[in-house]
Structure 1
């Protein structure tokens, strides 16, 4: 009972402190809303320049390692295909961020059975051959996944998550020391943070990337409805998913429903691009 009371006291201290510390962070609007209307303001405690530099160094190290393993850009046709699609999407990023087309973009294909793709802060992209080959993706589907990953970078989700973790970690450590609950109580507070803030925020990031991604694809001349079939394929490869409330991604049903609505919203952009 005493530990339970201390846990709830720690949770209260951490919650109040977290609100105060987040209020002191820089509030930014990383992107314009676009047709899909993503306009949530974000609080940042980490410098964008600092994170971009760190990401650039990490990317360079990874690319060098992949080259040494002979796993970098081995299939010329795949590389040409991925870069062509990515470049068309990058050309549309100015709708959300006027500065984005001037980023130091890099696009590489890594030979790996993993079904994966990502875009680091500042525009450092990697697409794995497992995604291309195991899913047998169409160009429209490949545009959906690359557009989704580019959208994470445009919205600076990595910077936002890093800011949240720095603030939350500091608050929980301070609260644990003040209340003397020890490592068990601190761990309980960390789980509370993840359940109330961390995971829901991660799911909101995925939804934002889905919505911006379909608009980028539509503007670049790729069918935005392909995002629905893409994530259906991804779900089949991924096996059984955890419950929505424990996952950093929306459920398959929630995601398909949301993508259906927003793909339809940007269809006029796709038709215009196809007729140009």
Structure 2
């Protein structure tokens, strides 16, 4: 029995390594002024189009459920504000990936006490009213939130994480043969997991932070607002429970320091944007 378990563990590890070896190295975005150029590895088992299709379906279901409960886009003025800021950021997305101009972007506001916001693959955005009412962000701070979440989608972090899960599940599936259980999960379940349950990695968070401040700066929002935003988030965390946004977006003093550095790096882009706006 010990020998059998040993062989199964080795077989699982071999399959996981084989799956990882089958991943394609790529850089989903251009580096931008901020310099994001890490090589990413995506599994052929997780096509970008398939993940976007699943995201579209889940997003539609979330909106349908919210609408049925009277929780979708209840405040027209609030929705207009979020959409106006989002559109300015989206207009700058081609700096990182030109094909984003062809994405079918959507932006909605969901009535919920949670301090949260997210952007699914393909550009499906949701902002929760708790973020607006409890944090009370300025337009520039809200741009920092949205820029961060948009950057996750541009960088295809969800696809990268699902690819990693696929590789792990392939290895675990060998062990399930002995137990009769199923280690593999469907694509939709894995997307839900990486979007709404599992925390992002420090690498993904740093990339989204840095790209987000550049998007904000290019869109005419002061990138230094990202620092004040996270200070407000940290203050909100002092309550009885941390905001949902922080439970999946770890914050630390080192993160604030990195944001300060990134904001200074893209500050000239913000000044240029203001100059162009004044000229108009």
TM-score of the aligned structures, taking structure 1 as reference length: 0.83
Distance 1:10 1:40 in 2: 34
**Which aligned pairs between 1:1-276 and structure 2 lie closer than 5 A?**
17-45=15-43, 46-174=46-174, 202-239=201-238, 249-276=249-276
* Structure 2 unaligned spans of 5+: 182-197
The answer on whether the counterparts of 1:232 and 1:252 sit within 8 Å (CA) in structure 2 is no
| CA drift at 1:118 | 0.3
| CA drift at 1:11 | 7.6
What root-mean-square deviation, in Å, do the aligned CA atoms of Structure 1 and Structure 2 show?
A: 2.8
Q: Which whole-Å deviations, capped at 9, do the CAs of 1:138-161 have from their partners, x for residues lacking one?
A: 000000000000000000111111
Query: Which residue is equivalent to 1:192?
Result: none
Distance 2:274 2:142 in 1: 17
Residue 248 and residue 74 in structure 1: after superposition, are their counterparts in 2 closer, same or farther (change >3 A)? closer
Residue 225 and residue 14 in structure 1: after superposition, are their counterparts in 2 closer, same or farther (change >3 A)? farther
Residue 70 and residue 39 in structure 1: after superposition, are their counterparts in 2 closer, same or farther (change >3 A)? same
| CA drift at 1:117 | 0.4
Residue 134 and residue 33 in structure 1: after superposition, are their counterparts in 2 closer, same or farther (change >3 A)? same
Distance 2:90 2:10 in 1: 44
Deviates more, 1:226-235 or 1:9-18: 9-18
| CA drift at 1:249 | 4.2
| CA drift at 1:107 | 0.3
Q: Which whole-Å deviations, capped at 9, do the CAs of 1:179-229 have from their partners, x for residues lacking one?
A: x9x9xxxxxxxxxxxxxxxx8972211111001000000000001111111
Distance 1:265 1:211 in 2: 10
Deviates more, 1:37-46 or 1:13-22: 13-22
TM-score of the aligned structures, taking structure 2 as reference length: 0.81
Aligned length: 253
The answer on whether the counterparts of 1:10 and 1:176 sit within 8 Å (CA) in structure 2 is no
Residue 57 and residue 201 in structure 1: after superposition, are their counterparts in 2 closer, same or farther (change >3 A)? closer
Q: Where do 4+ consecutive residues of structure 1 move more than 2 Å?
A: 6-21, 172-178, 238-242, 247-251
Residue 13 and residue 248 in structure 1: after superposition, are their counterparts in 2 closer, same or farther (change >3 A)? farther
Deviates more, 1:65-74 or 1:117-126: 65-74
The answer on whether the counterparts of 1:117 and 1:128 sit within 8 Å (CA) in structure 2 is yes
